[in-house]
Amino acid sequence: MTVTGPAAERPADPADRPAEGPGTDLAEQVHRDPAAHRVLTGDRPTGPLHLGHYFGTLQNRVRLQRLGVEMFVVVADYQVITDRDIADRLAEHSENLVLDYLAAGLDPDRATIFAHSAVPALNQLLLPFLSLVSVAELGRNPTVKDEIAHSSQAAVNGLMFTYPVHQAADILFCKANLVPVGQDQLPHLEVARTVARRFNERYPHPDGTGVFPRPEALLSAAPLLLGTDGGKMSKSRGNAVSLSADEDTTARLIRGARTDTERRISYDPAGRPEVSSLVLLAALCQDRAPEQIAEELGDGGGAALKRTVTESVNEYLRPIRARRTEFAADRGYIRQVLRDGAERANAVADATLAEVRAVMGSV
Ligand code: ATP
Ligand code: MG
């Protein structure tokens, strides 16, 4: 089966440049030299992907793929049990994740899509990596603290503290130097950078280069899209609008989104986070500036804002949802994508592990 449609195949043009938050010219660098970059990203198979995923990272992945950047996408199945006792409906969630990827435009011929648990050599990196970070460093991680606060588990397990190091292994096994992520992932990226630097220092390569690159985060224009309750939109917090939701469900969820009592619509992310997140969502779907959307809505109030957002989202997602329905008809193909991805990822992980063992002096 081939991926067709607007998000899947278009020639690279300046508008396809990966969007990025303020601060660096990383997106420019990638655009100038796509071959110098390798991407690793991924998601936990804990439920359907939502708008936060799409505008936070997935859209950038598709743009990077279109530029020809080599890409690895991990279905982070072991990470599901960080904040829950069992990984509920793991195979189903993993396959649905792949469906969402394909619908959004990831092409398994160009992107290696694999499950974390299917690549044993990758997980062997965890042992040396864990030795490179202190317990105090693991305990300070703000994203881990936030996730603990939202977890329904009675006790916090060890994996909750060590999973950022797992993620470092996910990124570094394939020597990725570019990681398109949402804002919550920045502390984890810092762990990966620290692990790479310390490993290279402790186990120098005979030729003077380090085994691992220092990966950089690529943020989008929506690094923290808010959910209907005003908190980070998350699969497991009951506040998300799924990419695969139908149009009526989308309308109902957006109608229930938290706003404020002021009628005048403005784009002021710091002062009015909920209203501004909705304005930004409409802007991203319409590929326009959020200030312009706010200006147009003027004194229309929350109801008009939500109508605009609903229409924009449903229109934007229509081709993606249609493609998803097509792909969903062939579950065998989805499983084949994961098998092929695991084969490719295993070859890369075996090679990296061999290098790691050599510089560490293992037999
Ligand atoms: P869970 O609730 O199970 O943790 P999640 O919605 O937080 O799910 P993850 O699988 O943890 O999703 O995150 C996958 C990727 O999506 C990460 O790069 C993360 O930064 C990004 N992401 C998740 N939620 C948002 C959001 N609301 N805005 C922007 N990016 C997001
Ligand atoms: Mg999460």
182 pairs with which residues across the strands? none
| Phi and psi torsions of 18, nearest 5° | -60, 130
Tokens at residue 85, please?
A: 């006792």
Other CB atoms within a 10 A radius of the CB of residue 59 amount to 21
Ligand 2 centroid–CA 176 distance in Å is 21
What radius of gyration, in Å, describes the C-alpha atoms of the chain? 21
What pLDDT is stored for residue 21 in this prediction?
52
Decide if pLDDT at 6 tops 60.
no
Partners of 111 in the β-ladder:
71
Q: Which of 20, 49, 53 to mutate to test the pocket of ligand 1 (most atoms within 8 A of CB)?
A: 53
The answer to whether 302 and 254 have CB atoms below 8 angstroms apart is no
Res. 357: pLDDT tops 90: yes
Q: Per residue in 137-161, pLDDT tens?
A: 999 999 999 999 988 888 999 999 9
Ligand nearest to the backbone CA of 150: 1
Q: What is the pLDDT of residue 14?
A: 45
Ligand 1 atom closest to the CA of 58, numbered from 1: 16
**What does the pLDDT read at residue 152?**
83
| Per-residue pLDDT reduced to its tens digit, 200-214 | 999 998 888 899 999
Confidence of residue 26 (pLDDT cuts 50, 70, 90): confident
Side by side, the strands of the sheet bearing 216-218 are 111-115, 70-75, 38-43, 178-180, 216-218
C-alpha to C-alpha distances, 242 to 63, 184, 227, 286, nearest whole angstrom: 21, 19, 11, 18
Q: What is the pLDDT of residue 51?
A: 98
> How many angstroms separate the alpha carbon of residue 336 from the centre of ligand 2?
26
Nearest to 200 by CA among 359, 363, 351: 359
Domains and CATH numbers, the chain: 5-225+330-360 (3.40.50.620), 245-324 (1.10.240.10)
> 68 pLDDT exceeds 90?
yes
Determine how β-strand 216-218 pairs with β-strand 178-180.
parallel
Nearest to 50 by CA among 5, 82, 109, 97: 97
Determine the atom of ligand 1 nearest the C-alpha atom of 234: 6
Alpha carbon of 308 to those of 40, 269, 296: distances in Å?
34, 18, 10
Instruction: For residue 80, give the ligand 1 atom closest to its CA.
Output: 3
Local structure of residue 56 (DSSP, 8 states): I
Q: Ligand 2 centre from 269 Cα, in Å? A: 21
The pocket around ligand 1, CB under 6 angstroms, is made up of 43-44, 46, 52-53, 56-57, 181-182, 184-185, 222-225, 232-237
pTM: 0.92
Question: Comparing C-alpha atoms, which of 52, 11, 42 is closest to residue 176?
Answer: 42
Nearest CA to ligand 1 atom 5: 234
